[in-house]
Structure 1
Amino acid sequence: MTDHEKSGGLSDAAVGRYLERVGAARPERADAGALRELHLRHLLAVPFENLSIHLGEEIVLDEKALVDKVAVARRGGFCYELNTAFAALLRALGYRAELLQARVLGPDGRVGIPYDHMALLVQDVDGRRWLADVGFGDHSHLPLAFDERGKQADASGVFVIRDVPGTDGDLDVVRDGTPRYRLEPRPRVLADFEAGAWYHRTSPASHFTRGVICSLLTEDGRVSIGGRTLYRTVAGERTERELGTDEELREAYRELFGIVLDKLPAAPVKRGEGDRNP
């Protein structure tokens, strides 16, 4: 971890803008309760989206640029963007936040590329360690206790962090019995994720280049746009509707996600609601 990452590099003004963006007050203490509140509010305010890839916008793994994208431009992003920005906010508020690399686990158990995903190891002022992740789409609403190996109930399901035998301390993050990603607990720096981010924004094999997704947790479910389809889940019931005109699509981005688009992203493949980071 760099000295900048250890100390927290955001100005008070930037912290204020970020907190306003997620609708949170500045916590008096960097404890577990405040972390849970910040994590949930982030998920409710900042969408998981890959619009930049399909709008031809540059994605730069730079802390200030990513914080500005979230807090000033009022956009979202994918894992490298969202968790980098969230880590910067947490450090400025007194938490220790480290970047961890993970490889997404497919339905067949196959692991993704190195640096496939970024998650956060967060330590609060009481010394408790948490796995925070605001960049995996439909995932846990609250941080998970990093050192707990039993079941952890969350509004989105039951999670388990389990040791992976035969590895150098790797951990599988499991939701409702299904492994989601394999986490390497050694802290990394932002530059380590450059190759993974480049792959996911350029490779034809990446989920992110093959479809457009914008998804946000809501108080009663989730709302997503995949291509030109609007998906809503309310109290477990899912509906979908095609957005037939460009104006309908623009209005949906504006009204549901607060994203104002001068041009629309290309949508080569329709993606479904709840698509997770790759």
Structure 2
Amino acid sequence: MDTIAYLKRFNAYPVEECYLQDLARLQSLHMQNVPFENLDVIREVPIYLNLENIYEKIVNQKRGGYCYEINGLFHWLLRELGFDAKMISATVQKPDGTWSKADTHAAILVNLDVPYLVDAGFGDSTVSPIPLGGERHTDHSGTYSINQVDDEFYDLVRENSGQERTLYRFSLEEKQLADFHEGCVFNQVSKDSPFTHDDLVTKATPEGRVTLSDHQLTRTQNGKKERTDLSPEEKKKVLEQEFGIAL
């Protein structure tokens, strides 16, 4: 696998030092150019936790993926670039306050002066590393912080319009990509998976986010949302023009 080709895939270049600003730039560019998408899941194309397969899909085919694919490959890249990075698992909290299947989300922890949560594969979320020290970070999608729950667990929290919501809970235990096999299968086949119902493709933009959900395109810019219903032909064009995906 070619790190330079991967960096070019999301308009980035090699870092000379492993500083926070370099990590933040890589994450932001990655999220603006490699979409979170479940198109293979909906079309019943099997997804395997194999880095070579994921590299072929994301870099050579210019596709996106879901958390195991995006964060699995991004973790490999960060390690190749010299960052002290490890994969971790998380349990997603649903909007109604209940919890999804435990440990089925894959994220990354990067140790700099303090540990930072890095997640390029959670869809509509922060585009920047979030420190575990409790400091708050604000971008177009909200204000984020990490709260320590107990000696083992931490919560990623987003505040938007004065309302706080836990996005997911994670521990610092290191995971390997193969550890997510059960979660990867669950999220491809279970009716309880959020990814087995409708097409979902989303990526960050400099001013917000653009999201395709089934046949509706939502463009968020500086907090304002604009929704457009699409015909099948229009949807095909949006996939190609907005996300660079030609199925």
* Cα distance in 2 between the residues matched to 1:255 and 1:154: 25
Residues 242 and 218 (structure 1 numbering): CA distance in 2 closer, same or farther, change over 3 Å?
same
Letter in 2 for 1:100: I
Q: Which of residues 122, 136, 146 is equivalent to 1:161? A: 146
Partner of 1:186: helix, strand, or coil?
Answer: coil
- Percent identity (aligned): 34
TM-score (norm 1): 0.84
Which residue does 2:216 correspond to in 1? 229
Partner of 1:216: helix, strand, or coil?
Answer: strand
* Cα distance in 2 between the residues matched to 1:23 and 1:68: 17
1:212 Cα deviation from its structure 2 partner: 1.1
Letter in 1 for 2:142: G
Partner of 1:26: helix, strand, or coil?
Answer: coil
* Cα distance in 2 between the residues matched to 1:130 and 1:116: 20
* Cα distance in 1 between the residues matched to 2:7 and 2:135: 32
Which residue does 1:103 correspond to in 2? 91
Partner of 1:56: helix, strand, or coil?
Answer: coil
1:141 Cα deviation from its structure 2 partner: 1.2
Instruction: Report the aligned-residue RMSD.
Output: 1.4
1:112 Cα deviation from its structure 2 partner: 1.6
* Cα distance in 2 between the residues matched to 1:56 and 1:74: 19
* 1:221-260 matched pairs, under 5 angstroms: 221-244=208-231, 246-260=232-246
Matched, 1:180 2:151: no
The one-character-per-residue Cα deviations of 1:203-231 (angstroms, maximum 9, x if unpaired) are: 01111001210011112221111111111
Matched, 1:220 2:203: no
1:253 Cα deviation from its structure 2 partner: 0.3
Which residue does 2:106 correspond to in 1? 118
Matched, 1:34 2:22: yes
Matched, 1:192 2:179: yes
1:131 Cα deviation from its structure 2 partner: 0.6
Q: Is the 8 A contact 2:42 2:197 kept in 1?
A: no
The one-character-per-residue Cα deviations of 1:55-92 (angstroms, maximum 9, x if unpaired) are: 22220101222122111111001111100010011111
Letter in 2 for 1:233: T
* Cα distance in 1 between the residues matched to 2:147 and 2:221: 31
* Cα distance in 2 between the residues matched to 1:153 and 1:237: 16
Letter in 2 for 1:221: G
1:150 Cα deviation from its structure 2 partner: 3.6
Which residue does 2:67 correspond to in 1? 79
Gaps of 5+ in 1: 1-9, 262-278
The one-character-per-residue Cα deviations of 1:170-206 (angstroms, maximum 9, x if unpaired) are: 1111010211100021111111100011101100111
* Cα distance in 2 between the residues matched to 1:128 and 1:112: 29
Residues 69 and 237 (structure 1 numbering): CA distance in 2 closer, same or farther, change over 3 Å?
same
* Cα distance in 2 between the residues matched to 1:96 and 1:227: 38
Partner of 1:249: helix, strand, or coil?
Answer: helix
Matched, 1:137 2:134: no
* Cα distance in 2 between the residues matched to 1:61 and 1:36: 26
Partner of 2:68: helix, strand, or coil?
Answer: helix
Gaps of 5+ in 2: none
TM-score (norm 2): 0.94
Letter in 1 for 2:152: G
Q: Is the 8 A contact 1:115 1:195 kept in 2?
A: no
Q: Is the 8 A contact 1:221 1:236 kept in 2?
A: yes
Q: Which of residues 200, 203, 215 is equivalent to 2:190? A: 203
Letter in 1 for 2:115: R
Which residue does 1:170 correspond to in 2? 153
Which residue does 1:273 correspond to in 2? none
Count of aligned pairs between the two proteins: 243
After TM superposition, the runs of 4+ consecutive aligned structure 1 residues lying more than 4 A away are none
